[in-house]
Amino acid sequence: MMKEIDDITVINATAGDKNAFQLIVLHYAQAVNRLAYRYTADASYAEDIAQETFIKAYQAIGRYQAQAKFSTWLLRITTNSAIDYLRKANRQMAQSLDEEGAQLEIADHVIDTGDRMDLNRRLSVALSDLSDVERLAITMKHHQGYSIDETAKVLNIKNNACKQTIFRAVKKLRKQLTSEVNA
């Protein structure tokens, strides 16, 4: 579980203290980048999203309300930044989100088990092979604990489409695990 920064630092930052905000950046930089990487499977994208997240957070910190954990608030900004970034990056994302109930083909592309890649490596490749919307949906649901309703709303798709998307993502990833067992 992520360790929260102390409340006084957050309060000082909400009052416009730049030094306090610097402490927040130092404390949460890794967590934000890691989450951005989960969403994008791309280190350079994650770097850009992390920067964008903290700039947005600095601009909006006056509106932060202490009822929610600060990390929850910050990681929500990260999620939104990642979605915006991927939309702008004009990857499959825009098309996937705009096509209601889009049924993407499940890739039969199975990574060659004979190439001596270890399981983690192969899973990482499999994650990067997911479509953006699949990766976003599975990360939001599994890692960030969003509900199906919330995930669908943020991704601007219907609930059933969201369930299908998550299901497809899990199926693709498990396929790598299965092939490891079978290999």
Partner 1 sequence: MKSTDDEKLLMIYFNEAQQKDFDPNLSSSDLSGQLEQLEADMNAIENAQNQYDLPEDYGQKLWSQIEDKIVAKEPNQPSNASNWLQSLKNIFLVPQYSLASFAAILALVLVAFYAGRHQSSAVMGNQLQEMLLAQNIQLHLTQSEIFLTQVSNDNGSYNSQATAQRLLSSNRIFKQALVNHDGQFTNQLLQDLESVLLEFANGRSANYSDQIHGQQPQVNWVNDTKSNDLMFQIKAMKQKLAQKNDII
Per-residue contact string for residues 29-58; x = within reach of partner 1 by CB under 8 A: xx--xx--xx----x------xx--xx--x
CA distance 13 to 22: 9
62 forms part of the interface with partner 1 (CB under 8 A): yes
DSSP letter string over 8-21? HHHHHHHTT-HHHH
Q: Closest separation between CB of residue 10 and partner 1, Å?
A: 7
- Nearest-approach distance from CB 51 to partner 1, in angstroms: 5
Binding to partner 1, residues 147-176 (CB under 8 A)? 147-148, 163-164, 166-167, 170-171, 173-174
Give me the least distance between CB of 101 and partner 1, in Å please: 15
Residue-wise burial string across 114-128, b where 16 or more C-beta atoms lie within 10 A, e elsewhere: eeebeeeebbeebbe
Residue ranges of alpha helices (H) inside the chain are: 7-14, 18-40, 43-60, 70-88, 92-98, 119-129, 132-138, 148-155, 159-182
CA separation for the pair 121, 134 (Å, rounded): 19
Which residues are near partner 1 by CB under 8 A? 7-8, 10-11, 14-16, 18, 21-22, 25-30, 33-34, 37-38, 43, 50-51, 54-55, 58-67, 119-121, 123-124, 127, 141-143, 147-148, 163-164, 166-167, 170-171, 173-174, 177
